[in-house]
Structure 1
Amino acid sequence: MIFRAATADPADLDRAMAYPADGPVPALTAERIREELASDQFRPEWIWFAEDEKGEILARALWWGRADSARPLVLDCLQVRTGVADPVAVASGLLAAGHAVFGALPAYNISLPRDWRSDPVLADAVAWRREAACRAGLSSDIERLRYEWTPAAKVPVPAGKLSFREGTDEEFLDAFIRLSSGSLDQHTQNELRSMDVEQVARQDIEFYLNCPGERSWWRLAELPDGTLAGLAIPSATPYHRNVGYLGVVPEQRGQGLIDEILAEITRFHASQGADRITATTDVVNVPMAAAFDRAGYAVTEIRLVLEAPPK
């Protein structure tokens, strides 16, 4: 078995795009791959093949990154040709080969319909991918709901419970630190096992600073007396406006303030002409999911995230 990256040779890229999108797990179309290559979010060195001794492609892995990424951030697509006797072995070998070159273990995102567990064929396809990822070092998993807002859901009207203002870097750092207490976000919980709360907060801030959104969009949420209630971080992806990060400080939770903070983010994006706003939250974060439901956001898919466990 040979594991290798595609080269700048157009023939290699053509082979990557011509690979059959078979199997029940949704795969990227050739058109989408071309678009990602053109925007430098896929690169030949991030597209990997598993080949047999005759040069036949048995598996394909496509890693994604932002245009300014030095290395890939996430595995976007993993396929093994139907009929391969041991897809776990082929897929895990392919991932391990890529990881060794990247010097990192990018997470693997699998996009699925909400009822994917009720389809035995789809569930089996997820199972071997999960096992392959685990063997390659991605042994932690988080299941997320992907939401989407469109103007059909209507722009929310301010409830008047909170006011929003710009804040200093120090104020946002303090807010991020306070929000981490009792957080139901699995990523935050995992990070707090290996880092202190300020390190996690600084890492989160750095992440959102590096997203396509603007720092000037960020807002602190306050009660009428000026008491901090939470924060709103409208953001963006390379494709759509995004909810980003939001939350209520522990001492103000349970009063429905999350609805007003989410509404502020929605209003902000809508005021700038956004016709689609995406968002994700962990399946286990029931209060946040309920807030999205109340705000007219609709679930479009389940995103199963396989990643390296916290050190």
Structure 2
Amino acid sequence: MIFRAATADPADPADPADLDRALAFPAHGPVAALTADRVREELAVGQFRPEWIWFAEDDAGEVLARALWWGRADSERPVALDCLQVREDVADPAALTAGLLAAGHAAFGKAPLYNLSLPRDWRADPALVEAVAWRQEATRRAGLTQEVERLRYEWTPAAGAPEPTGRLVFREGTDEEFLDVFARLSRGSLDLNTQQELATMTEEEFARADFAYYLDCPGERSWWRLAHLPDGTLAGMAIPSATPYHRNVGYLGVVPEQRGKGLIDEVLGEITRFHAAAGAERVTATTDVVNVPMAAAFDRAGYEVTEIRLVLEEPAGG
């Protein structure tokens, strides 16, 4: 078995025949696959690259599996595995794709996470359950042993943006103020990634990593707001953000001493109003399935679940 990228040398143009083979690979199975046109679009803007498209070939040169990794246009390495498929006649898809992923990870120098997008009722479809199971096994063998199930939400103008209630006042803040709030919000967080990261780093280290992450997102630093009660008491923060495709909720939270008062609705409302005022036609958001209070806040705000994201990644510190 041969595992290789669509170009042997990332510094050279890809062989057009290799890209044609990637585009023509059959989308067998119930897991939704990207269309050839979508792959071309992503290649055109540098979010897919020939060196991030990998094949598993048999000795005769027949492509048996394909992996497509995605990154931002300015990424040095891919950020996430976006598509993993095998031909329907492969006897052991988990073993084959585990080897494919391991080869890609070795070439990238890291193991990007795998975002597997699924319908909300995916567990009711036996064929889909089976297709997810071999992908889970393959990624586990390749080192992505941590699994989080997330709800992917979407807001559109039809849902309306809430009017301010006056319960909170929002203002700009310094980097030092935001770093402090990032650290405070991590305490008692229901977000699984936050819990896992704090097992291997201090609150301050975690705050700096989160700050750097959101600073690097396509949204603007000038969008960020601190949230206060009318008397000046800190309540939390709102970080409207963006992806390469649409506006995004980003990060929001209420400090531990102010939780349980419904203030998260006010913070989410501020983010929604901000994006709506900018003319956003779609605002996306995600939260862990187990983070019931945050999911309930999205529901109250008119955000609708569009899919489940099964996130498979290396454990914190891996």
Shorter-chain TM-score bucket reads over 0.9
The correspondence for 1:261, drawn from 267, 289, 293, is: 267
CA distance in structure 2 between the partners assigned to 1:88 and 1:22 by the alignment? 15
Partner of 1:281: 287
Partner of 1:13: 19
Q: Give the TM-score of the pair, scaled to structure 2.
A: 0.97
The correspondence for 2:221, drawn from 215, 222, 226, is: 215
Deviations 1:145-169 (A, max 9, x none): 0000000101111111000000000
Q: Which runs of 4+ in 1 moved over 4 A?
A: none
CA distance in structure 2 between the partners assigned to 1:201 and 1:31 by the alignment? 39
Query: Is 2:159 the counterpart of 1:166?
Result: no
Partner of 1:4: 4
Partner of 2:79: 73
Return the letter of the residue paired with 1:156.
P
The correspondence for 1:122, drawn from 99, 124, 128, is: 128
Q: Map 1:106-255 onto structure 2 (within 5 A).
A: 106-255=112-261
Residue 274 of structure 1 aligns to a residue in which SS? coil
CA distance in structure 2 between the partners assigned to 1:182 and 1:155 by the alignment? 29
Partner of 2:110: 104
CA distance in structure 1 between the partners assigned to 2:226 and 2:87 by the alignment? 50
Residue 204 of structure 1 aligns to a residue in which SS? helix
CA distance in structure 2 between the partners assigned to 1:237 and 1:168 by the alignment? 23
Q: Percent identity?
A: 77
The correspondence for 2:101, drawn from 81, 95, 102, is: 95
Cα offset for 1:253? Answer: 0.2
Partner of 1:36: 42
Residue 51 of structure 2 aligns to a residue in which SS? helix
Return the letter of the residue paired with 2:298.
F
The correspondence for 2:65, drawn from 59, 68, 76, is: 59
Residue 251 of structure 1 aligns to a residue in which SS? helix
CA distance in structure 2 between the partners assigned to 1:267 and 1:241 by the alignment? 12
Residue 296 of structure 1 aligns to a residue in which SS? coil
CA distance in structure 1 between the partners assigned to 2:55 and 2:124 by the alignment? 31
CA distance in structure 2 between the partners assigned to 1:232 and 1:18 by the alignment? 43
Residue 53 of structure 1 aligns to a residue in which SS? coil
Deviations 1:283-302 (A, max 9, x none): 00000000000000000000
Residue 299 of structure 1 aligns to a residue in which SS? strand
CA distance in structure 2 between the partners assigned to 1:14 and 1:212 by the alignment? 31
Q: Give the TM-score of the pair, scaled to structure 1.
A: 0.99
Return the letter of the residue paired with 1:270.
A
Cα offset for 1:224? Answer: 0.5
Cα offset for 1:22? Answer: 1.5
Unaligned runs of 5+ in 1: none
CA distance in structure 1 between the partners assigned to 2:249 and 2:316 by the alignment? 25
CA distance in structure 2 between the partners assigned to 1:121 and 1:257 by the alignment? 42
